[in-house]
Amino acid sequence: MSENHGGHFPPQQQWQQHQQWPQQQGWPQQPPKKKGLSTKVKVLLLVAALVVVGGGLGLLFVLKAAAGPEKQAKMLTEGDCVVLTGSGKEADAVKTPCDSPQTPYAVSLTGVDKGDWDCKEGFYKYSVPRPARGDGVALCLAINAKVGLCFDDIGSKTPPPLKDCGSARLRISEVFPKMSIVNSPCAEGTAEVISYASYGTSNFKSATICFVKP
């Protein structure tokens, strides 16, 4: 008597074929994900960039500090009246009111001091150095034409210092708004005379200055 197994099982080889999954190449392929920078790396790069920028700004501040403040002499123009401050590398010329009793000089010419320059006869040569910038401010100065100012040696090559009239050798007694060489308009008894000519379009004005002994 034969056994009934409920039907015939498929041969082993046929079963294995039915059990095979589709080949990998038959499935749709997912594009590989691009690996971006991690948050930690981004933060580190940001910090590095800030350090570089901050370092550059710091260098600018250091260079500016080394150069020091800009000299006021650079802003002067012809016709300005000035006092001189400091000495050596710290020398400067500061604009002040021409009618001030403590303002001894007037600017006749300004320029750049590159080592080879001079002023016309009768004017005082003065240079304001700017070492960190590689040049200086060149000034040609005249006596401020104001009655009452006192000096000693007005014939020097450099600006004569303002003196107290109690001990000075010369005092400005009269001022005339014109240049005079031959016929002086100064009163009798005048000890010294300086006459300045303007330079055309310059704001520096012509003047004849009379000095007497205090």
Question: Over 50: is that where the pLDDT of 15 sits?
Answer: no
pLDDT on residue 70: 80
Exposure on the CB side of residue 34, measured as CA atoms within 13 A: 2
- CA torsion angle for 190, 141, 72, 64 (degrees, to 10)? -140
Per the model's pLDDT, the better-predicted residue between 198 and 64 turns out to be 198
Strands 92-96 and 105-113: unpaired
User: Best-predicted range by mean pLDDT among 25-34, 64-73, 198-207?
Assistant: 198-207
Average pLDDT over residues 190-204: 87
* Of 172, 179, 185, the residue nearest 205 (C-alpha): 179
Q: What is the pLDDT of residues 146-168, one digit of tens each?
A: 999 999 999 998 999 999 999 99
Average pLDDT over residues 22-26: 45
pTM: 0.67
